[in-house]
Structure 1
């Protein structure tokens, strides 16, 4: 298992955008094991009201999340960056087992090791019920949606 994941800090605009897109792409696979490899072995998270430490706990958390949040589709947008830190905002859509759709809005603060693995993640997230007809996202970004200047709507 590699303890390095480019791009490496300190980040510039291009490498920060690359890191954000890589995170979005990985999370949209809904593969807890794949996603966990972007984090240090002892990575610490605050996700809503949960505190999680280490890859096994991350895998356990993500497995339960995607069993509960069905047809999950995520969009991330760079907010800011500095040295070994990146701030993002995001939206994701999902439905529960009863078929109710949600759009979850949030912000994340990321801190990276010198090897480019995330060692700290703090996420604040709010869920809003939506009608299925109000969905915006139906899969990962297409190639024409990628690149600098892309953003996600405020609402």
Structure 2
């Protein structure tokens, strides 16, 4: 299975890979998202360690059971041949209605087929008032092309 764009990345293909990941995560479909990772992909997400597609699916399903109306924006930070670093922010609310904005960085490593073999994520959550939200689009789909990115939002 191949997931273009493939390494070695250029700036344009790294940006394309980042936006494809953002769009996929905004679907909140764990099965679909897991296909971007190698069968034995290894994650560190905050203090949680996950390995393999089935574990990724379980992790993401649990995540979106807790993080409601999730909306994510990713932005390329750096890249080399088969590595991409991103910064990101996402907004969600919990079951009690408290809104949060999570800020973070991820380092991704890809195999020759464009599947992510490693994902290291460092994330901090900040409680926000609903009036402080900045991510506004239909939560059932990807961020519209005309919605500002992180830099334009000053995040």
Indicate whether 1:126 and 2:124 are aligned.
yes
Which of the residues 130, 143, 151 maps onto 1:141?
Answer: 143
Question: Are 1:54 and 2:56 matched, yes or no?
Answer: no
Decide which of 8, 12, 15 is 2:13's aligned counterpart: 15
Tell me the CA shift for residue 143 of structure 1. Answer: 1.9
For residues 51 and 39 of structure 1, what CA distance do their matches in structure 2 show? 15
RMSD between superposed Cα atoms in Å: 1.3
**SS in structure 2 opposite 1:16?**
helix
* Alignment length (residue pairs): 150
> TM-score normalized by structure 1?
0.93
Choose the corresponding residue for 1:91, options 89, 92, 95: 89
CA separation in 2, counterparts of 1:145 and 1:70? 20
Distance 2:122 2:35 in 1: 22
Unaligned runs of 5+ in 2: none
Residue 108 of structure 1 is matched in structure 2 by: 106
Distance (Å, rounded) in 1 between the aligned partners of 2:119 and 2:143? 23
Name 1:24's counterpart in structure 2: 22
TM-score (norm 2): 0.93
